[in-house]
Amino acid sequence: MTPEAALNRVVHCLDRAHDKGFKAKAFFRARNVVRATDPAEIEERAAAGTLTKLEGIGDSSARLITEALAGEVPRYLEHLEATTRVPISEEGQRYRDALRGDCHLHSTWSDGGAEIEDMAATAIELGHEYMVLTDHSPRLTIAHGLDRDRLERQIGVIDGLNERFAPFRVLTGMEVDILEDGGLDLDADLLARLDVVVASVHSKLRMERTAMTERMVIAVANPHVDILGHCTGRLIGKRPESTFDADYVFAACAQFGTAVEINCRPERLDPPRPLLDLAVEYGCWFSIDTDAHATGQLEWQPHGCDRAAERDVPLDRVVNTMSADQLIEWTGGR
Ligand SMILES: [Zn+2]
Ligand SMILES: [Zn+2]
């Protein structure tokens, strides 16, 4: 194991444990330093005990690098591998086993912390056949949303990656902002070119109930929209659910064949149980997605699988149990 691989794995494990503390930041920084430094220099410094003279390498990272160079699995990494595994219930595992891809995730092109190729390599390790790259749309400037030019460039990059990673597939997509009037933050010709479109509310989350209902119904009725992302916008313990008439919204999702996302982020777990029950009642489609912003977070599907199992979501209504071709046919045929 190279020092870079060991550090990558540490970052991955801390991500899957949702650890955003000082240590996680330090290892992330150390990983980037090692990545940017000549491996020969790292070896020399490890031998001379001068790794910590490199800006961004602390004692813990230095120890990890030295152990990796000695051909050992670093002790701290071994500890993390054992203690950060994402748990899953037996019933949830049945859902997880059926999933063939992940339809909502981000890269460094918007506000993610990992390159597209690192996300793809991890998705392959997790047994996925495909992933849909859904970086943010232009209006979300704090998240470096992609404008037309950058999205077109990204589609080109994805073409190249698909040659490299075949038979695994990176599908094109975007997490498009739902504007205040229910319109979408991307031109229709681009929406039509994407394999999968996730539409989410990220602004004016406290909008009045009737207006929010209209806004969401208009968006899910849009033929380009395939998945309604994190429908209530809640952040558990931090931000309340948006208020809307869920009967109208889920009836529209069922009517227009827009999947309701079961967002697996531990701070979201959206929709909440009562709304998930209602969406099941309306016969909606679902998509169990991680909304990952780092490689480790791609391991979060168990959170959504457990929830889906608990609320009896019909497995044959979960769109990411489809193959990539079936999924594209489903999104294109709607
Ligand atoms: Zn979002
Ligand atoms: Zn997202």
Q: What angle (nearest 5°) sits at the alpha carbon of residue 258, between those of residues 277 and 182?
A: 105
Beta bridge pairs of residue 235: 239
**From ligand 2's centre to the CA of 105, what distance in Å?**
6
**From ligand 2's centre to the CA of 227, what distance in Å?**
12
**From ligand 1's centre to the CA of 198, what distance in Å?**
9
Nearest ligand to the C-alpha atom of residue 292: 2
Alpha carbon separation from 204 to 110, 179, 180 (Å, rounded) = 21, 9, 7
**From ligand 2's centre to the CA of 194, what distance in Å?**
16
**From ligand 1's centre to the CA of 230, what distance in Å?**
7
Nearest to 42 by CA among 73, 65, 8: 65
Please report, for the chain, how many H helices and E strands are present, in that order: 14, 7
**From ligand 2's centre to the CA of 299, what distance in Å?**
15
Cβ atoms of 77 and 13 within 8 Å: the answer is: yes
Give this prediction's pTM: 0.95
DSSP letters, 269-314, are -BS-HHHHHHHHHTT--EEEE--BSSGGGGGGHHHHHHHHHHTT--
Q: pLDDT tens across 106-147, in order?
A: 999 999 999 999 999 999 999 999 999 999 999 998 899 999
DSSP letters, 191-244, are HHHSSEEEEE--S-TT--HHHHHHHHHHHHHSTT--EE-STT--BTTTBPPP--
Residue written as token pair 């489609």: 285
| Burial category of 167 from C-beta neighbours within 10 Å (exposed 0-12, middle 13-18, buried 19 and up) | exposed
Q: What is the pLDDT of residue 334?
A: 57
Q: pLDDT tens across 76-91, in order?
A: 999 999 999 999 999 9
Cβ atoms of 313 and 99 within 8 Å: the answer is: no
Q: pLDDT tens across 188-247, in order?
A: 999 999 999 999 999 999 999 999 999 999 999 999 999 999 999 999 999 999 999 999
**From ligand 2's centre to the CA of 294, what distance in Å?**
11
**From ligand 1's centre to the CA of 66, what distance in Å?**
39
Residue 7 has pLDDT above 70, yes or no: yes
Write down how long the chain is: 334
Nearest to 53 by CA among 44, 76, 72: 44
d(CA 309, CA 219): 28
Q: pLDDT tens across 247-257, in order?
A: 999 999 999 99
Nearest ligand to the C-alpha atom of residue 229: 1
**From ligand 2's centre to the CA of 219, what distance in Å?**
17
Nearest ligand to the C-alpha atom of residue 201: 1
**From ligand 2's centre to the CA of 68, what distance in Å?**
34
Q: pLDDT tens across 145-173, in order?
A: 999 999 999 999 999 999 999 999 999 99
**Residue 237 φ/ψ, nearest 5 degrees:** 80, -5
Give the 3-state secondary structure of residue 126: coil
The type of residue at 212 is M
Nearest ligand to the C-alpha atom of residue 110: 2
